[in-house]
Every structure is written in structure tokens, then in C-alpha cells.
Amino acid sequence: MKSLLIAGTNTDVGKTILTASLTAYFLKYHSQKSLAILKLIQTGIGDFEFYSNLFNCQIVVPLRFNAPFAPPISANLEGKTVDLKPVWQELVKLQQEKDLVLIEALGGLGSPVTEELTVADLAGEWRLDTVLVADVRLGAIAQIVANGALARQSKVKLKGIILNCTSEISQAELENLAPKNLIEKLTNIPVLGIIPHLKDCQDLDQLVAVASNLELEMLL
């Protein structure tokens, strides 16, 4: 069984787009196999409806909080604490049942999951193969370097970096804002592909095309 944690350098950098692209590709070209999407923890509205409207696969959200903040803060507002036991149990169950489990993280690798653990801590302790998504913008290099360093510190099995264009940019802008060679030299982590700006994130053909242009042999 294969599982992949899709983490980010921050919130709203493209984790959902990458998860959707890999899901669309897998369901099209490996329809005889089974896939599940696991959202580690959901705070606020979330992406459940987005996924469920697009894909005929199992989508699991084992832990939810209403307020759109970091989990320990959202839990505290509800008079609760973050109990990771049901998340771990659901992950193990899916890993036993499915051919592929795509696990969508929250925030960046440094985002708190509990009052003691970050996403990076969880990825390292649970020994999850991980890919890091970064949005292409001013400051992207610094965020990638910082998250890469945290991944090493936490012993995350980081397979590579995906760059996501959250807006329409030229090739020259891409090379100036997030140059592949410089990022790889600074982090010693391979850049496994670039997601272009998508006008329609629910276009399955576009999502499949996005995944097709990534180094999938490194991811899946």
C-alpha cells in the first residue's frame, strides 16, 4: 500500500489542487485500483464538498473543528483538545484497505497540529512519504528553504517539491520568483514539477494533464 502526505509551505498554496490532480490521474489510469483521500484535520469549512463533487472515491475527515484556525486554537474555542488517536486509526485502516491514500495536511510544515506537535513532527513520527507544495510568489524561496530545513530537522521523508502558480505569470516571472535550480541547490530537495495557473479547478481533463506533467514515478 502506498500513501503520500501532501504538505505545504503555508495555507492556500495549492495542496488541494495537487491532491485533486493526483486523484484525477489515478482514477483515470488506475481505475481497477482503490484510492482514498484523508484530510488530517479540518478546521473551518474545508474541501470535502469540492472533492465529493469531483470524485467517486472515499473521502475521510476524522477530526473537525468549526473555527478556521490552527487545530489547538479551534479545539480550545470548543472546550476540547486535539486527540490524534482517531486520525491515526483511520489512516492505518485506509492503508490496509486501499491501494493509494492521499493525505492532505493543513497549513505549512510548521503549523501546529496539537499544542506539542507540528505537521512536520507528525509526518516524521508517522513515517509518511511527503511532498511539499509551494506557491510561486515573492518570498517563495525563503519559505521553501525554511520548510525544507524543518523537514530535515523532523526527519520527514520528503520526496520533493511542487511549485504551484496561484496566478497567471510568465516564464520569466516564474524563473525569477522560484528558480528550480536555485531551490534545489539551497535545499538539496528535487523540484518534481510545476502546476500552471488553472482557470477551472474542477476541470478533470486539466487536473489529469497537470499530474501527467509531474514526475509521478517519484510521487506514486
- Cβ atoms of residues 138 and 126 within 8 Å: no
Contact residues for 185 (Cβ-Cβ < 8 A; gap 6+): none
Rounded Cα gap, residues 218 and 190, in angstroms: 10
Catalytic residue among 15, 39, 98, 159: 39
- Any long-range contacts for 83-86 (C-beta under 8 Å, 24+ apart)? 84/113, 84/114, 84/117, 84/122, 86/62
Backbone angles phi, psi at 167, to 5 degrees: -140, 170
Report the relative pairing of strands 58-60 and 100-104 from DSSP bridges.
unpaired
Q: Is 39 known to be catalytic? A: yes
d(CA 14, CA 20): 10
Q: Which residues are catalytic?
A: 39
